[in-house]
Structures are given as C-alpha cells and as structure tokens.
Structure 1
Amino acid sequence: MAKKKSVEKKKAVDFSLLMTTLILVFIGIIMVFSSSWPEAMQDFGNGYYFLKKQIIAATIGLFGMLVCMNIDYKVWRKYSTLIYIVALILGALIFTPLGITLKGARRWINLGFTTFMPSDAIKIGSIIFFANFLANKKKDISTIRQGTIPALIVIGISCGAIYVQKDLGTTLTLAGTMMSMFFIAGMNLYHLIFMAIGAVGLGVLALSGEHNAYRRNRITAFRDPFAYKLDIGWQAVQSLYALGSGGLFGLGLGKSRQKFFYIPESYNDFIFSIIGEELGFLGTLTVILLFLLLVWRGIRIALSINDTFGCYLATGITALITIQTIIHIAVVTSSIPTTGITLPLISYGGTSLMVYMSAIGILLNISRHANLDRS
C-alpha cells in the first residue's frame, strides 16, 4: 500500500507546459540579445552585456523552476502568511537607503552585487496568500462581511504596495489577477457593481493632480499617437512602425531598425514590437500561440486538481501570466495607453524571469497531483 502511495506521488509533470515555458525562455534570450545590442554597445561597450545577464537569470530561474517543481505545492499554503509578509517588507525596502531610482522610478532594491525588483515578489506572494485565504473562506466567500470585504482588503494591501512605487501597469495586472481568483472562488456578482464604482473612483484618483500629469498625457497620446509622434506619442508610433515594417516574414533576425534608439526599452517593455519587426506576423503569431498553449495547460491544471488551494493557486499563476501578456501586447499594438510592463518569460529582467519560472515550477508541481493527460 505504501509502495502504491509512493508511486502516485511521483506522477510526471505536465510535459506540454514544461516545454512551452522552455521554448518561450529560449525565444526571450534570443530576442533580448538582438534588441539590446545597440544600447549595450553604447552604454557598456559590450554587445553581450544584457545577453549574459539574461542567461544568468534564466539559469537561476531554471534551477528555481526545478526546485519548485519538486516541492509539494501544499507547503506554500503552510507558509503563505510568512511569504506574504516578507514580500510586503521587500516592497517597503525601496523607501529605505537600499532603494534606488532607475529611469525615473524608484522600484528597485540595490543588493550591492545586483538589483532586485520587489514588485515581482509581491505578485507571487500575494497570489499564494490569497489562494490560502480563499480556500479557508470557501463557505463564506459570497457574503459581504466574511467574503467580499476581507478579500478587498487583501487585494487593496497587495496592489497598494505596488501602486506606491508608481507602477500602475503592474498594479492593474495584480488587481486583475486577484479579482480573477476571487471570481473563480465564487464571489457574489452583485458586489461587483460596487467594486466597479470603487474602481472608477480609484481610476479618477490615479489620474488627478499635477504629479499624475504623465498618465493623462499617455491617455491623450493613445487617442491619436500620430498627432503627438514627436512627443508623448513617440513610443506608440515607433512600436507601430516596427510591427508594420515586419510584414509577414519579418526583416530577419537581428535586422531591426527601430531598436537603434527609436524605441525606448526595446528589449523590455516593447520587445514584442521587435519580434514583429524581425520575425514578422508569423513570429508574433508563434509567440501568441505558445502563450495560449501555456495558458490552456494552466487552466486544465486548475480544473483538474481536487484541492481548492491548488485550484486557486494554479488559477492565480495562470491569470497573472495571461493578464500581463495581454497588457504588454495591447500596449505594443497601441490598443491601450502606454505603460511599462514586461512580456513574461521573454522580456529582459532578471527578477521577473526568475520569479515567473519559479511560479511555473509551482504550477508544474500542482500538475503532478492533477487528474489530467500529461502529454
């Protein structure tokens, strides 16, 4: 009997999810190298600067994914409160002498040998804590006093910890992720009306005041980017130029013109436009299909696990990747106002890559316990 139980615990992980993740990371390394070459040469005199850092992050991320893949996901429930508190403390450290300002924003912690972006830790820490919260409240989740109000407090604290870093894009991503988890857990849809009113109020607050003028400028530029193509609409216009010039097959790997200082953060916030320029419509379609496959496997895992905590945790990780991917692609295609947000697993950024790969490791471990086809 003990032997049979041991065999059940050694189920294989979801192979499709594992391979899709590795392919996306590989594409990311190639595209980061291609899109970062001009800036790396100008700022560091070494075209391989960003490539080396991305490979190191991918290697650490792979190790993290393998470790998390082999740790029973139920362990995260046991330590969910501690993980959440540590994540919030890391977020608070940006307001200490350890916090540094890069590119006009104070969102990084200087560890001496490298920098760390705590918002990524807050995202995954919030998902783990909220999954445990929802699992504990499953009988009362539709009530306003036991369900909606406590859930909104948790969402507010999590999103507020990122919003104070003046990172509205990541705040919206996390808010959408946690609301997706809340919806799946069985929230009262009538309460959604009041949440929507509150969200509108917060939106007005986020746009009001002199210190938020740059956000209003982004909305103005979004309405007609070509009318402000030499000013606030520059990023959106250059991104559209990149996508348009790529055509069906692209200009060829490494042959992007827009990465030569036309698109700021071409290897980060606008990497999808460089993919479109160099690899064309077929390249962008391939990346989108890979993300769709990843999301589909995540949904299958969430639906196939009997444990409520596992279901909500899988939902949160999958929703986070889905929402952030959609926002990134929408920004690059000028479908929404410009906001700085990375493309998961592909954009340059060590913290983001390591956290996302580790999160997928957790998802892979959940797949070991799910009743699904592992092909």
Structure 2
Amino acid sequence: MSRITVQSGETKANGSIDYWLLGAALVLAGLGLVMVFSSSGVMAERVNGNRYFFIQRQGLFAMISLTLMIICAWMPRKILHGPVYLWLFLIIGLLVLTLVPPFSVKAGGARRWMRLGFMSLQPMELAKVVLVMYLAYFFSQKQQLVRSFSVGFIPPVVVTGFLGLILLLQPDFGGAVFLGMLFFLMSLVGGTRLTYLGVSMFFGIGAMGLLIASSPYRFKRWFAFLDPFKDPQNVGYQLVQSFYAFGSGGVAGAGFGAGKQKLFYLPEAHNDFIMAVIGEELGFIGVSIVFLCIGILLYRAFKVALAQDDLRDRFTAYGMGLVLGLGFLLNLAVVLGCVPPKGVAMPFLSYGGSNLLACFLCVGILLNLSRSART
C-alpha cells in the first residue's frame, strides 16, 4: 500500500492537469450557456426589454469563474490551502451581512444575496467550499484524536452548526441541509466514530422534522412531491410543469428553442429547473449527454482524491467532488420529483454567478490537486 502523509502544503505539483475533468466541466458550462439563452430569452425580453439580458450576464459570470479556475489550478499549494480560519471567519462575516438589510437583497421572503454592483453574491455557495477546506484541514491534522468526542467531533459540529444556523435565519433551509450532508460525508471518511455520526444524524433529522412541522407552507411544499397533481395550481405547480417538460421531450426533443414550458409555464426555467428545459428541447439524448459529462467529472474528481499521497489533499479533493456531486444529485432529484422541491441550482448549467463561481472554484482546486496525483 502507498503511504499517505499528513504534512500539508509540502506536496510538489509539477504534473499536468486532468484534462478529462476540465473537458467535462467546460462541456457542461458551454451547454449551460446555450440553454440559459434558450430558456430565458422570452422572459428577459418581457421583463428587461432585452432578450440577451440573462445570457450576457451569464457569459460575464463564466469569464470571471474561468479566470478564478485558472488561478486556482496553478496556484502554489501552500497558498491554495492558505489560512483556512481566515476564510472561515470571512465567510461567516458575509453570511451575517446577508441578515443586515443595508447590505443584502431580499427576494422570495429571504435574505440570501449581497448586492455587488453588477451582480448579487450568494455567500452560501462559497460557504460549501470553505467548509470543505476547513474539514479537510481539521481531519488531516487531528487524525490521532479524531475518534475522541471533545477534540475530534465537537469542533466540526460547532462550526457546521453555526453556519447552518445563520442560513436558517435567512431563511435557507435547503442550504443548511446541504452543509449538514457535507459534514456527515466528510466526517464519515475522516474517521469520526459511527456512534457519534448516528446520534448527530438522529438529532439532525429530528430538527428538520420540527422545522418542517412548524411552518404550514413548508410542510405542504415538502410533501407536495408525494402527489403533486393533487394541487397542481399551487404547491405542486413547479413539479407538474417539470413533468410535462420531460414527458414532451421524447427521445430527440422538440429542438433547441422550440420548448413551450419555458413560456411562463415553468417557473425558474433558466435556473433551478433548467434540466426540465433540456429534457423538453434536447430529449433523452440531451439528458444522456449531461449525465455522461456528470459521470466523467465525478469519476475523475474522486480519482484525483484517491491518487493523493497527502491526507489533506485527499480530503480536499474528496470534498470538492462532494460539493459538485451533491449539487447534481439534489437538483436532479428535485426536478424528477424524487425529493421535496427546494431551490438547488444545477452545477454549471443553471443561471447564476455565485453557483457558477463556486463550481469552477471546485474544479480549479481539483485541477491543482490533479497535478500531484500518482499516475
């Protein structure tokens, strides 16, 4: 067996990047630009008077994100890992600022965005990456004590719980659940005792149940997926329209730009439910291409993780793969009616600068780590 070291920041990254990983991400992002234009043109023309409004902004987001990816891919490893606690305090500060009206934007009854001139930033997307960086650092440095309760379990629980609490205050129930899933899966490979994880999962599910039961609207929405056609004009509306889009796509689809559900029938057609537009316009073939790219990207991401000699690098690559993988999984589960509807962007495909930035940040870090992977 190969030896895994725990000294971080000393690994030399002199190899070439993983071009399969890069190619899959670029194909998804390119398809995302095409489908954002297709799904948002009519809405943009009616609301903004410019049918190119969303695609122009998404193109700008893509250029910024690609630049960040290139920087991360070739950044020295010591700088990449950097002052993890500084990033943690910074993201906590940004999340807290979303609760302060002068610094945040309120939409849909929640304060999740910060206005930054030409774009709005959703700190929760970056919080996923920062949490992974923190947990990777923690589990790599505390391997000898990770199975203890006070040193190996309480600190990451407190950090994750505090981030989740801020998200619940926004409120962003789905974001808090996402961070909880990241914590559980990172802790599972980090060496935390299964007893501790089992108890924390029990309390976490109990807290979720109380939060859902305490909000009549949230309760209806979370159980609407069981029978969305029971209330197709209210809580089941998005899911019903998503089913219609997928059902009408067939094998080859209606053709690019020829979809009808995006014509103000399917809410968030260019955002959370963009896969439904892909299913309608590109059909089974188009959806299969997306699945193939997702499979390649995640396979290469976890292969990069397994090929690391340094433990912190291995945990970091694994976590970045989780951020992307959970995003793909949860979005697809929502649009296909497998889980209760909740706003989860489709990585690389959905409209939005914050999610695209976080996705390419993950890819950039994975590409950097792939340069030191064992061949």
The TM-score by the shorter chain falls in which range? over 0.9
C-alpha distance in structure 1 between counterparts of 2:156 and 2:117, whole Å: 37
For structure 2, the residue ranges without an aligned partner over 5 or more in a row are 1-11
Aligned to 1:256: 259
C-alpha distance in structure 1 between counterparts of 2:131 and 2:77, whole Å: 15
> Do the aligned residues in 2 keep the contact of 1:74 with 1:310 (CA within 8 Å)?
no
- Identity rate, percent: 34
| Ranges of 4+ aligned residues in structure 1 off by more than 3 Å | none
Deviations 1:117-163 (A, max 9, x none): 11112111111112111111111112222212222112212322322
For structure 1, the residue ranges without an aligned partner over 5 or more in a row are 1-7
Aligned to 1:16: 20
Aligned letter for 1:144? Answer: F
Aligned to 2:105: 100
1:33 Cα shift? 0.5
> Do the aligned residues in 2 keep the contact of 1:98 with 1:111 (CA within 8 Å)?
no
- Tell me, what secondary structure is at the counterpart of 2:371? helix
- Tell me, what secondary structure is at the counterpart of 1:187? coil
Aligned letter for 1:19? Answer: G
Aligned to 1:300: 303
Cα gap change, 1:40 to 1:32, in 2 (>3 Å): same
Matched, 1:67 2:71: yes
1:190 Cα shift? 2.0
Deviations 1:255-307 (A, max 9, x none): 11000111111000101111100110111111011111111111101111011
> Do the aligned residues in 2 keep the contact of 1:70 with 1:365 (CA within 8 Å)?
yes
**Superposition RMSD in Å:** 1.3
Q: 1:112-127 to 2 correspondence within 5 Å?
A: 112-127=117-132
C-alpha distance in structure 2 between counterparts of 1:23 and 1:73, whole Å: 27
Aligned to 2:7: none
> How does the TM-score come out when normalised to structure 2?
0.94
1:62 Cα shift? 0.7
Matched, 1:325 2:328: yes
C-alpha distance in structure 2 between counterparts of 1:52 and 1:240, whole Å: 29
C-alpha distance in structure 2 between counterparts of 1:201 and 1:314, whole Å: 31
C-alpha distance in structure 2 between counterparts of 1:175 and 1:74, whole Å: 28
Which of 112, 120, 135 aligns to 1:130? It is 135
Q: 1:6-85 to 2 correspondence within 5 Å?
A: 9-85=13-89
Aligned letter for 1:46? Answer: N
> Do the aligned residues in 2 keep the contact of 1:76 with 1:128 (CA within 8 Å)?
no
Deviations 1:310-334 (A, max 9, x none): 1111111100111111110010001
1:113 Cα shift? 3.3
C-alpha distance in structure 2 between counterparts of 1:224 and 1:73, whole Å: 50
1:365 Cα shift? 0.2
- Tell me, what secondary structure is at the counterpart of 2:152? helix
Aligned letter for 2:106? Answer: T
> Do the aligned residues in 2 keep the contact of 1:108 with 1:116 (CA within 8 Å)?
yes
Aligned to 1:351: 354
Aligned letter for 2:310? Answer: D
C-alpha distance in structure 1 between counterparts of 2:155 and 2:90, whole Å: 20
C-alpha distance in structure 2 between counterparts of 1:49 and 1:112, whole Å: 16
Comparing 59-68 with 173-182, greater Cα deviation is found at: 173-182
Which of 152, 175, 178 aligns to 2:183? It is 178
Comparing 169-178 with 299-308, greater Cα deviation is found at: 169-178
> Do the aligned residues in 2 keep the contact of 1:268 with 1:349 (CA within 8 Å)?
yes
